[in-house]
Amino acid sequence: MKPLKIASIPGDGIGQEVMPEGLRVLHAAAERFGIALDITPIEWASCDHYLKTGQMMPDDWKQQLQGMDAVYFGAVGWPATVPDHISLWGSLLKFRREFDQYINLRPVRLFEGVPCPLAGRKPGDIDFFVVRENTEGEYTNLGGKLYEGTEREIVIQESVFSRHGTDRVMKYAFELAQSRPRKKITVATKSNGIAISMPWWDGRADAMHAGYPELAMDKQHIDILCARFVLQPDRFDVVVASNLFGDILSDLGPACTGTIGLAPSGNLNPERKFPSLFEPVHGSAPDIFGKGIANPVAMIWSGAMMLQFLGHQEAHDAILRAIEATLRDGPRTPDLGGKASTAEVGAAIEAAV
């Protein structure tokens, strides 16, 4: 069997601390399930690299990564030395766009052993996916300023939605919902306030729904939808959202399950024309970097999603069970009230795989 070619990019801050744990679990699962791994460590796409070279990534970054099956990514950003618009737009957001990773897939799930901030919710109650559009929408640098620097200053920011870009994320989400037992799709919108793009977005959801008559579809305004994540998280199955709304929901969802320190994500190019990228939802966390206490679960879970995406469902399931078991009975990092180090948790999950 051809080995899976994977670029591992730890990036900044705790990305560097959780990556080794992610890799160790990946290797354990590969060994158990007879998967060959070919891992290329990469030190760019980090603020360190930027401070040394003046750019976040080398000119030939695309060529270097183009042959890979996937990118396994830690975290990027170190605002104290490099402004976000350089670090993020120069790496992560570039990957998403230039590798056409148009799906940002983020599972939201409550585990046994993780204190839930919502009263009375039990594991099993919260188990859904946020499918976020990942290449267009509200994230643009289009627009500009009039009367710049004066009292009369006016700033225009443009969001851009294409039918192509919208339909493909809807399609992915509707298919995912179709594959799940509850057959429910929730469409995040704000068509009562954002008067051009969002009514149109609703229309694209209706058009897609016509092809999935079995699915129950629900369009919800982002304000009340956020409220319902807190009040009725059990009612969700698959939620599809624009770039910005998906960003919000996929931090809020994990927060409702205890900590965004556990949440993984896949930035997917489902056609595999380009490498997909798998990363924790958490960032580089400058405040805890260097202490060896970062929770590696999000990194490890992201690795499981990567194996699943590349066709290894069993390996994914084994890692998930190992995460579950460790969260329930194993060592815990301080964010979960324990005293264990990043490496201790990584080792426990590795052993359980």
Contacts with ligand IPM by CB under 6 A lie at 88, 192-193, 223, 247
* Two structure tokens written together for 145: 């300023």
The interface region with a copy of itself, picked from 17-25, 28-36, 88-96, 174-182 by CB under 8 A, is 88-96
CB-based burial of residue 60 (10 Å sphere; 0-12 exposed, 13-18 middle, 19+ buried)? Answer: exposed
Residues 177-216 that bind a copy of itself (CB under 8 A): 190-200
- Does 171 participate in binding a copy of itself (rule CB under 8 A)? no
Q: Torsions phi, psi of 283, nearest 5? A: -95, -155
- Does 335 participate in binding a copy of itself (rule CB under 8 A)? no
CB of 298 to ligand IPM, least distance (A): 12
Give just the sign of the alpha carbon dihedral 41, 83, 106, 114. positive
Bridge partner residues of 130 (DSSP): 106, 239
Distance CA 343, CA 37 (A): 21
Q: Torsions phi, psi of 10, nearest 5? A: -70, -35
Size of the site for a copy of itself (CB under 8 A): 66
The interface region with a copy of itself, picked from 2-10, 149-157, 169-177, 208-216 by CB under 8 A, is 149-157
Q: Which is nearer to a copy of itself, 41 or 193 (CB)?
A: 193
Among 80, 142, 181, 287, binds a copy of itself (CB under 8 A): 142
* Two structure tokens written together for 35: 């998967």
CB of 247 to ligand IPM, least distance (A): 4
CB of 227 to a copy of itself, least distance (A): 4
Among 38, 43, 98, 223, binds a copy of itself (CB under 8 A): 223
Among 38, 43, 98, 158, binds a copy of itself (CB under 8 A): 158
CB 279 within 8 A of CB 74: yes
Distance CA 323, CA 331 (A): 11
Distance CA 183, CA 197 (A): 26
- Does 66 participate in binding a copy of itself (rule CB under 8 A)? no
CB of 162 to ligand IPM, least distance (A): 19
Distance CA 336, CA 196 (A): 43
Distance CA 313, CA 241 (A): 26
- Does 125 participate in binding a copy of itself (rule CB under 8 A)? no
- Which residues of the chain form contacts with a copy of itself (CB under 8 A)? 77, 84-85, 88-89, 93, 115-120, 138-145, 150-164, 190-200, 222-224, 226-228, 230-231, 243-244, 247-248, 250-252, 254-256, 259-260
